[in-house]
Amino acid sequence: MATDSPTPKRRIYLNGFDMFTVGHLSFGQWKNPADRSATKRRDLSYWTDLAKILEKGDFNALFLADTFGLYDTYKGSAEPAIRNGAQYPMGDPAIVC
């Protein structure tokens, strides 16, 4: 049975995602001269600029991921994560708030 009533518009919620570390999703990206992740621990403008970009894009939220410690499953050691900057060093995102 067909209905003539239009389908109600559904809203898309956009959520930004970042991590308080130099190597979040693109390991080694910190080597790029344009990358600012190396200073996000001590530079408030990184976070305010990110907020402005998300606001301009009509994002609803920013999720700041964190972890309890180093990843130590590869080769049974945290050394590869430290050597390759795999989400290390990690800061506490609560200090951004």
Spatial separation of the C-alpha atoms in residues 47 and 3, rounded to whole Å: 48
Is residue 64 in some structural domain? Answer: yes
Output the pLDDT for position 67.
Answer: 76
Is residue 49 in some structural domain? Answer: yes
Spatial separation of the C-alpha atoms in residues 94 and 44, rounded to whole Å: 13
Is residue 36 in some structural domain? Answer: yes
Is residue 70 in some structural domain? Answer: yes
pTM for the predicted model, two decimal places: 0.65
The DSSP secondary structure of the chain, one letter per residue, reads ----SPPPP-PPP-EEEEESBS-SSSTTGGGSTT--GGGTTT-HHHHHHHHHHHHHTT--EEEEE--SS----GGGSSHHHHHHTSS-SB--GGGT-
pLDDT tens across the length of the chain (97 residues): 566 778 888 889 999 988 877 766 666 677 788 877 777 777 788 889 999 999 999 999 998 887 777 767 778 888 887 777 777 777 776 766 5
* Domain span at 74: 15-95
Output the pLDDT for position 13.
Answer: 95
Is residue 32 in some structural domain? Answer: yes
Spatial separation of the C-alpha atoms in residues 9 and 20, rounded to whole Å: 36
Neighbours of 40 (CB within 10 A): 21
Is residue 22 in some structural domain? Answer: yes
Output the pLDDT for position 84.
Answer: 74
Is residue 5 in some structural domain? Answer: no
Domain count, the chain: 1
Is residue 7 in some structural domain? Answer: no
